[in-house]
């Protein structure tokens, strides 16, 4: 069974106390939600305190990244093992901000995904084209390459633990959203790419949409058959908006 998921990527926002307040509100307001899995991805410094607040709830805990090495002299990095030990169950890997600002290549992303999986963490693997690629009608080949270079190199037995987030770069934080037709078209394409490699297992892969998703457009986007939820940036910093998006299923 494919899971409906709404995941909040807090990015580099909130202090620890603000994050704890935010997640407490999310816990409180999500009590009657049943057909959707909520995930929160706070900054590293908030993982333990936020994890404490969601104990006993169905909300999942995600990091926004993990190191591409297992351990050792990598100043400033946080390993998948450390994250798992701190209670992290999911890790956002390959967000376009990491690809663009920190030059993370497919090679690096594959290492991160393998380390996450080896430590029992489900990767939320982000893919998506930029505006130039969309305008040149290259979006299909771009996402296919992003999947082939990383996900096709993951052990078949681990494939079911992977969540895909399709996030057109031109829609992230811009207020521009893909139309529901654009989202369905490319989500169906992504699923087909996965089906060809992994067979029927890909029917169960959750493929999330991300890019200026908000309460006013979530229902329309989530109504598409191959859209299984959303990765939410800006709107996940407001508990009411985040919950309203989750209630759009
Ligand atoms: C994101 O960064 O994953 C994202 C979707 O951001 P926003 O919702 O703010 O566009």
- The class (CATH top level) of 5-246 is alpha beta
In this predicted structure, what is the pLDDT of residue 231?
98
Question: Does ligand 1 lie within 6 Å of residue 221's CB atom?
Answer: no
DSSP type of residue 211: S
Atom 6 of ligand 1, residue of closest alpha carbon: 233
On whether the CB atoms of residues 69 and 111 are closer than 8 A, the answer is: yes
Cα(234) to centroid(ligand 1), Å? 6
pLDDT at 220 over 80: yes
Does residue 187 have an active-site annotation? Answer: no
On whether the CB atoms of residues 65 and 31 are closer than 8 A, the answer is: no
Question: Does ligand 1 lie within 6 Å of residue 178's CB atom?
Answer: no
Please pick, among 46, 95, 139, 187, the residue that the annotation labels catalytic. Answer: 95
On whether the CB atoms of residues 84 and 55 are closer than 8 A, the answer is: no
pLDDT tens for 30-78 read: 999 999 999 999 999 999 999 999 999 999 999 999 999 999 999 999 9
Question: Could you tell me the residue ranges of all domains in the chain?
Answer: 5-246
Structure-token match 């991805």, residue found = 41
Does residue 46 have an active-site annotation? Answer: no
pLDDT tens for 157-213 read: 999 999 999 999 999 999 889 999 999 999 999 999 999 999 999 999 999 999 999
CA distances from 61 to 66, 67, 123 (A): 14, 17, 12
Residues in the chain, how many?
A: 249
Question: Does ligand 1 lie within 6 Å of residue 172's CB atom?
Answer: yes
Cα(230) to centroid(ligand 1), Å? 9
pLDDT at 1 over 90: no
Please pick, among 46, 129, 167, 187, the residue that the annotation labels catalytic. Answer: 167
Atom 7 of ligand 1, residue of closest alpha carbon: 233
Q: What percent of the chain has pLDDT over 90?
A: 98
Question: Does ligand 1 lie within 6 Å of residue 212's CB atom?
Answer: yes
Helices (H) and strands (E) in the chain, counts: 10, 8
pLDDT tens for 102-150 read: 999 999 999 999 999 999 999 999 999 999 999 999 999 999 999 999 9
pLDDT at 12 over 80: yes
pLDDT at 214 over 90: yes
Is the four-CA dihedral 169, 170, 175, 176 of positive or negative sign? negative
């Amino acid at each position: 069974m494919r899971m409906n998921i709404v995941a909040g990527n807090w990015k580099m926002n909130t202090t620890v106390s603000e994050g704890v307040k935010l997640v407490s509100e999310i816990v409180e307001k999500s009590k009657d939600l049943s057909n959707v899995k909520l995930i929160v991805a706070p900054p590293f410094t908030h993982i333990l305190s936020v994890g404490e607040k969601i104990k006993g709830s169905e909300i999942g805990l995600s990091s926004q990244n993990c190191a591409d090495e297992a351990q050792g002299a990598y100043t400033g990095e946080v390993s998948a093992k450390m994250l798992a030990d701190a209670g992290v169950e999911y890790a956002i890997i390959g967000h376009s901000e990491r690809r663009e600002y920190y030059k993370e290549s497919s090679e690096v992303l594959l290492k991160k995904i393998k380390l996450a999986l080896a430590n029992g963490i489900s990767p939320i693997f982000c893919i998506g084209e930029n505006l130039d690629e969309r305008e040149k009608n290259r979006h299909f080949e771009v996402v296919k390459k992003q999947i082939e270079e990383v996900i096709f190199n993951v052990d078949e037995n681990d494939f079911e633990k992977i969540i895909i987030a399709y996030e057109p770069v031109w829609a992230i934080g811009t207020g521009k959203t893909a139309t529901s037709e654009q989202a369905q078209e490319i989500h169906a394409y992504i699923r087909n790419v996965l089906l060809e490699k992994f067979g029927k297992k890909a029917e169960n892969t959750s493929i999330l949409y991300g890019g200026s998703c908000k309460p006013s457009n979530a229902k329309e986007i989530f109504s598409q058959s191959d859209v299984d939820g959303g990765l939410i940036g800006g709107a996940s910093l407001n508990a009411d908006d985040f919950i309203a998006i989750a209630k759009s299923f």
